[in-house]
Amino acid sequence: MDSSSQGSAAVAAARVDLCALDLMPVFAKEMIAGGVAGAFSKTAIAPLERVKILLQTRTNEFGSLGVLESLKKVRQHDGIKGFYKGNGASVLRIIPYAALHFMAYERYRCWILNNCPSLGTGPLVDLLAGSASGGTAVLCTYPLDLARTKLAFQVNSSDQLSGALKRASPQPTYGGIMDVFRGVYSEGGVRALYRGVGPTLMGILPYAGLKFYIYEGLKAHVPDDYKNSVTLKLSCGAAAGLFGQTLTYPLDVVRRQMQVQNQQQHGQFGGPRITGTFQGLIAIKQIQGWRQLFAGLSLNYIKVVPSVAIGFTAYDTMKHLLKIPPRE
């Protein structure tokens, strides 16, 4: 009798859970799927992301080092935890960012299909919807990206050159995300929290659009029997990330240097302060050389492959688990 009643209770609980899932709005499911996908992908490549930021910004200390040497140096000075410095802010940023990015992409895509039939239903729709959703997500979460960069920029124990730089230009030491927010806000108010958002938008609009354009375009040419293959999704995601990142990488370098330059002596790079996107591109090329515009790109190739691939694959998997209806 007891086992029968327990079985009935389990079935009833399952029905309640099923009903709760069915009652959840589709956009909420898309946000959950996107947030989980973003957290998985960002944590997987956190050590490479930390080293990439150091290569982009600490040119005097890391500019002449390769990927492996930089990883060794970070471990020597900060230990294993140093690989994940700033990852808390990164995950806090990426969860709402990815949630908004994927959800907004689906919403923009539906809107374009319903209101702009002349564009058809091909990859062009994915390009436009991806670009718009990327811009929306950046504007909503940019202060967290700024905090992540400032935390990742810090190195606890550095060499003699870094010590000389610190004595010449004392740098604030941040203890956490809220500490960054307080410090940056005291420097320039809300506007300071969006320092570098210009090159970020210029980079994310084409990158986000190309990412969805390539991913969905490649999937569209695959036979239906293979469209649910994890290997296929990983491959399409990797190709999308590599191509999109290569075209927009110099803008990412400008963004990082704008985000951390208030912590550095103005003359550390031997040039003027970066105040805008195009001015930053020209200044970096003239003072630091054109190669600096691609500093850390080889590392970015290594991390973009798993990051974008894991992100798209996790998103498609979560959509299936959450029973999100198929796209139009």
- Whether residue 1 lies inside any domain: the answer is no
Both tokens of 150, joined, read 């400032």
79 and 178 both lie in a single domain: yes
Please enumerate in sequence order all residues whose Cβ is within 8 A of that of 184, keeping only pairs 6 or more positions apart, or say none: 146, 147, 150, 192, 193, 195
Global model pTM greater than 0.75: no
- Whether residue 287 lies inside any domain: the answer is yes
Quick one: average pLDDT of 109-117? 92
Whole-angstrom Cα distance, residue 145 to residue 278?
A: 21
Number of domains in the chain: 2
Whole-number percent of the chain with pLDDT over 70 = 80
**pLDDT band for position 234 (50/70/90)?**
confident
- Whether residue 5 lies inside any domain: the answer is no
Predicted confidence at residue 74, as pLDDT, reads 79
256 and 211 both lie in a single domain: yes
Which among 151, 40, 58, 135 has a CA at the least distance from the CA of 95? 40
CA distances from 93 to 42, 88, 233, 260, 270 (A): 10, 8, 24, 18, 32
283 and 263 both lie in a single domain: yes
Both tokens of 29, joined, read 């499911």
Give tens-digit pLDDT for 243-252: 888 888 888 8
Query: Is residue 165's pLDDT more than 60?
Result: no
244 and 303 both lie in a single domain: no
**∠ CA 262-83-274 to the nearest 5 degrees?**
20
Give tens-digit pLDDT for 192-222: 888 878 877 887 888 888 889 888 888 888 7
- Whether residue 119 lies inside any domain: the answer is yes
219 and 150 both lie in a single domain: no
Q: 113 lies in which domain range?
A: 25-156+174-195+296-327
Give tens-digit pLDDT for 266-280: 544 445 677 777 888
- Whether residue 8 lies inside any domain: the answer is no
